[in-house]
Amino acid sequence: MTQLARAIGYDGRIGNKFLRAGIGFGGGCLPKDIRAFQARAQELGVGESLRFLHEVDLINQRRRQKVVEIAADC
């Protein structure tokens, strides 16, 4: 993964600043944007077709929570 991120980072349009492995994904913005996208889809009546995004968000939240639990146990 590190080699792939390094290779992608050579593209000047992307850069390598945010291509580092971490817990969960997306920092603060991507999860918020996914939720906003889901809410808008619901408003438009197509929310069920994007149900998978809800599951992705839940997985991401559980991953972050697991790291907090592990740190608390140390």
Are 19 and 5 spatial neighbours (Cβ–Cβ below 8 Å)? yes
Three-state secondary structure call for residue 29: helix
Q: Which residue is catalytic, options 21, 29, 44, 72?
A: 29
29 is catalytic: yes
Q: What span, in angstroms and rounded, lies between the C-alpha atoms of 26 and 37?
A: 14
Which residues participate in catalysis according to the annotation? 29
